[in-house]
Structure 1
């Protein structure tokens, strides 16, 4: 059974509240209406977010009912479990690109709040490990959008964040321009693990979007080879 967290989901999410919310009342990032208390979403938009319901437990692919998808039955993925807070649909297909490409950290904050609510009842890993950018891309972008999700998520759920455990040691082409087979080839040997670090036995990889799973699978293989026993994936949104 999933191990319950020590505090309620709402109290954990409270840790993400902006300290000056009394001075700058929240506005909904989707429609512009007044936001909920301490959240940049209005009640209507919050209620209609495309929260993931039924999904494959190994790859988080949306399913009509709880079941392992045929692909994971045919070939077991390197992840022990995968969970997505949302399906990649409106408004996630607007909010995530705003964080990823346009420095919209308010979007990152509200998505991390929602992820904390969704993941609070899952089995607790010993650490969260964000899927990193390559150093060259990080310098060009100036920030790592996955770390912007993982940092407040770790704080809200009171979990250690191991942001330097996993490294992107090979520059790769943008995954969005490749088909499924090319994505896997593109990421071969892309990740390496800091061998000087003490490895947790159970980690959850954090990423913004899961499409084919190639990036998370490559990261999981590197962690598994280094000696991590259990590897889950916690992603903000899953593409169907």
Structure 2
């Protein structure tokens, strides 16, 4: 980062100090969240080792993964989708509140990462019509700072959404799977490294991520991990 940009950011923060996006108090630890609100964000510390589903007690695998393992190889979702993270996420995803997205990305960037790092991070793509409507891809906005922090390259446009789909938040689990079936593809003529991660903002049933994983494995990836900022405690409860 060059000196003029650093100076501009220092001046900007002096004129516009950190302010909590949830309660309006002064921000703490160079975040637009106060210490109390940041402490309330629900961590996903007890979860399934394969799909990151929050569990009431420690267990290696949830019942669903024991019965039928998902197509990905590992999952990382450091937060649970619940109050007050769900409020910040909704503002970021649907309210065009990029400040909320920056706070969430910074929180994720500061957390311990998986020991085995992928060679590429691939954000879940939006269809071009949805991208025009929203103005940005929330998965990409989360992936960029995380990739810089981990030293892992982020590639957008390699994994593409081949067709428009209905909003997953309006569908039940079975309809979600049907909705995204065959919706993703890897651009032809691009070789994938053996280990990649596909990243989204929230993981609910895992249908979107699973379809991305299938497309990536068909294209030659040997190991595909799924990363999400937050995991819904019960399928069907998040966007």
Do the two structures share a fold, i.e. TM-score over 0.5?
Answer: yes
Is 1:46 aligned to residue 59 of structure 2?
no
Which residue in 1 is equivalent to 2:26? Answer: 34
> Does 1:171 find its partner at 2:171?
no
1:157 paired with 2:150, answer yes
Distance 1:200 1:21, change over 3 A: farther
Equivalence for 1:146: 139
Aligned pairs (5 A) from 1:88-167: 88-167=81-160
Name the TM-score, length of structure 1 as normaliser. Answer: 0.89
Displacement of 1:67 in angstroms is: 1.8
- Residues 216-237 of structure 1: per-residue CA shift (max 9 Å, x gap): 0000000010011111111111
Q: How many residues align?
A: 224
Work out whether residues 191 and 220 of structure 2, in 8 Å CA contact, stay in contact via their aligned partners in 1: no
Offset, 1:209: 0.6
Q: 2:79·2:229 contact (CA, 8 Å) conserved in 1?
A: yes
Distance in 1, Cα, partners of 2:87 & 2:177 = 26
3-state DSSP of counterpart to 2:111: helix
Q: Separation in 2 of the partners of 1:44 and 1:193?
A: 43
Contact 1:154 1:161 in 2 (8 A): yes
SS of aligned partner of 1:22: helix
Query: Which residue number in structure 1 is paired with residue 13 of structure 2?
Result: 21
List alignment gaps of at least 5 residues for structure 1: 1-17
Q: Which residue of 2 aligns with 1:15?
A: none
Cα drift, residue 121 of structure 1? 4.6
Q: CA RMSD in A?
A: 1.5
How many Å separate the matches in 1 of 2:175 and 2:112?
31
Q: Deviations over 1:87-108 (max 9, x none)?
A: 1111111001111111111111
Q: Return the alpha-carbon distance in structure 2 between the equivalents of residues 122 and 25 of structure 1.
A: 35
> Which of 195, 204, 217 is the aligned partner of 1:211?
204
2:237 is matched with none
The 4+ residue runs of structure 1 with deviation greater than 4 A are: none
TM-score in terms of structure 2 length: 0.89
**CA offset at residue 29 of structure 1?**
1.0
- Among candidates 60, 65, 89, match of residue 58 of structure 2: 65
Partners of 2:122 and 2:112 lie apart in 1 by: 15
Q: Compared with structure 1, are the counterparts of its residues 92 and 164 closer, same or farther at alpha carbon in structure 2 (3 Å cutoff)? A: same
d(CA) in 1 for partners of 2:73, 2:90? 28
- Cα deviation for residue 195 of structure 1 reads 2.2
For 1:227, the equivalent position in structure 2 comes to: 220
Is the CA contact (8 Å cut-off) linking 1:127 and 1:202 kept in structure 2? yes
Task: Please give the alpha-carbon distance, in whole angstroms, between the structure 2 residues aligned to 1:177 and 1:212.
Answer: 13
